[in-house]
Amino acid sequence: MAKTGLRLARDEFDLSAPLARTALAQSREVESIIDATGGLGVALGIARPLDLSPAGSFALAAPRLPSISGPPNPSFTDQVGFLNALNPNGSLDTDPNNSYWEFSGETARKWDTPTAGTSATVKYFFDPSSGFSANEENTFLKAFGLWEAVADITFVEANTVAQADVLLTRGNDGSAYFLGNTTNGSGSTLGSYVGQTLISVDDSTFGFELTGSFVTAGGYGLSTVIHEVGHMIGLGHGGFYNGAVNPATQQYSAFDERQWTIMSYIYWNQAGTAKFGDEYTVTGTNWGVTEDSINRQAPHTWMPVDILAAQWLYGESTSNALNGGDTFGFNSNIGGIISDFFDFTVNDHPVITLFSLGTGNTLDASGFSEDAFIDLRPLGFSSLNGHVNNVVIADGTVIETGIGGSGKDTIQGGDGKNKLLGKDGADQLLGGGGKDDLSGGAGKDKLEGEGGNDTFRLTSDKAADADKIVDFGGEDKVSLLGSEFGLAPGALKASAFELGTAATSDKDRIIYDQASGKLWFDEDGTGAAAKVLIATFQNNAVLASTDFIVV
């Protein structure tokens, strides 16, 4: 007989000051209690007091779940399956070493049709006695909107409390949790929710604010709601823990970390004690300190593992919220309920994943002055506004255009056709394997096309902006800004190009010396005006007028 249980998913929120860590509302998710006849049991969750342990130690909840060590070296895909208890083919993963729900004595579950990859609609209702303000309600709606943007699940408001699948309520026990009944599945049939479920958040506890702020506790309250909605749609935790965690023993994989999944309890400052810390593929992460002097610990959106875990359950989103032509960051064009997450004028210390189902997308960091590293490769982490590894691109998402700010930026392209714009500062642009377009902007920049037939744009006639072009060759082109150099658009005339170190005609404008690799602009050829260095070719490339275009 299929088991039915009452699940209380309560989570540890550890808001660490630079010298001492304080765990807020640290409590435990109590295991479903099933009587001998397979009937419904009741589980009660008791909130634990604040953990005032010094940094580097962990106060653990009394163990309520079986002790399982997990498999050696689980992969990224394994971590996806651990969250939703599914195999990639949609069947249930019944190995408790590889599945959070099996580890907890249950199975994968979802709303509506109990088949992986099928859509669902969930009705919600705000508890009238909770007295939520419009802004607080909006915080829940933002979380719903995020999950709708990646998976084919739709949230609609019920007309009455009795019609609701999930009741949203303000708690008073110092914790945040999801509570629900589920049946267990088997084979390729997932478990289902039974009756009404509940998300409760006690916003009187610091860190559980429902204002939707990215500032208070670094946006931990908003992250809390997104996390609990993740539980509600069928995702478990990232490792073998609930209520409290010992990273040294309970971490499932190197991807059981908040830079990969919002469902994890483990964050960047615990890398030194984490079980798989030595196997992290992304290292040196630092999300900085919040305005209220605690370590910024939680992401503001789902992360790469979460997106795939939700899609395995419900399929890809059909909401068109993030469907191509999306600009993330400054000058963002993302609208609707999720707009603030991806607008760097609102969320100026972003800890986010960039996701889009379409192409023609842009990451615009032009408003930041700190040195930045921008990585446009899928699962590539960017470091923006003084943080390290705080913006990541989802697996399968294509971001073609990267725009730097006024710092000394490095922009790394992927295998596709990238457009890289350094803007101000001495930048380094790396095209990757595709046919790329590289423009350093102001400052002495280093441009490297890497593979593919690339275009190197020179837009300034000032020596202070002279760029270094590393690997010009093949079908690469140099693009000259006609309005800056006084040249007509189109192919560069042969009469305007001269090999050597000086002009030999009053028509010469572009002069190239292969021996030194130096490229000059001379506004009047043999006239009185001095030539100006505009670029250096590090590989002493062989150039002809046909290698230049004027735009």
Instruction: List pLDDT tens digits, range 450-500.
Output: 989 999 999 999 999 999 999 999 999 999 999 999 999 999 999 999 999
Looking at the fold, whether 180 and 98 belong to one and the same domain comes out as yes
What are the tokens at 73? 């070296």
Looking at the fold, whether 267 and 227 belong to one and the same domain comes out as yes
Tell me the backbone φ, ψ of residue 493, rounded to 5 degrees.
Answer: -65, 140
In a domain, 161, yes or no: yes
Does an H or E element contain 102, and which? Answer: helix 100-103
Higher pLDDT pick, 27 / 157:
157
Decide if 398 contacts 365 (C-beta within 8 A).
Answer: no
pLDDT above 80: residue 331:
yes
In a domain, 292, yes or no: no
Average pLDDT, the chain: 89
pLDDT band at 72 (very low <50, low <70, confident <90, very high): confident
How many whole angstroms separate alpha carbon 286 and alpha carbon 295?
Answer: 9
How many whole angstroms separate alpha carbon 282 and alpha carbon 95?
Answer: 28
How many whole angstroms separate alpha carbon 114 and alpha carbon 92?
Answer: 11
Looking at the fold, whether 128 and 243 belong to one and the same domain comes out as yes
What are the tokens at 109? 């579950």
Which residue in 102, 63, 64, 105 sits closest to 83, CA to CA? Answer: 102
The domain in which residue 484 lies consists of 455-551
pLDDT above 80: residue 401:
yes
pLDDT band at 28 (very low <50, low <70, confident <90, very high): very low
Supply angle C-alpha 442, 444, 450, rounded to 5.
105
Which range (67-71, 331-335, 347-351, 387-391) has the least confidence?
67-71
Q: How large is the average pLDDT for residues 395-412?
A: 98
pLDDT above 50: residue 40:
no
Does an H or E element contain 226, and which? Answer: helix 220-233
The reported pLDDT for the residue numbered 69 is: 67
- Give me the number of domains the chain comprises: 3
Q: Which of 102, 148, 228, 257 is catalytic?
A: 228
Looking at the fold, whether 202 and 54 belong to one and the same domain comes out as yes
Looking at the fold, whether 173 and 225 belong to one and the same domain comes out as yes
Annotated catalytic residue 228: yes
How many whole angstroms separate alpha carbon 347 and alpha carbon 360?
Answer: 22
- Terminal CA-to-CA distance of the chain, rounded, Å? 73
In a domain, 297, yes or no: no
Looking at the fold, whether 335 and 258 belong to one and the same domain comes out as no
Does an H or E element contain 231, and which? Answer: helix 220-233
Q: Identify the residue whose tokens are 């009187």.
A: 204
Decide if 379 contacts 393 (C-beta within 8 A).
Answer: yes
The reported pLDDT for the residue numbered 339 is: 98
Looking at the fold, whether 349 and 417 belong to one and the same domain comes out as yes
In a domain, 288, yes or no: no
* Residue at which a domain ends, from 248, 279, 310: 279
The reported pLDDT for the residue numbered 243 is: 84
* Percent share of the chain, pLDDT over 90: 85
Q: Which CATH number do you get for residue 353?
A: 2.150.10.10
Looking at the fold, whether 448 and 469 belong to one and the same domain comes out as no
The reported pLDDT for the residue numbered 24 is: 26
The reported pLDDT for the residue numbered 546 is: 98
| Identity of residue 371 | D
pLDDT above 90: residue 50:
no
CB atoms within 10 A of CB 544: 11
Q: Which CATH number do you get for residue 47?
A: 3.40.390
The reported pTM is: 0.89
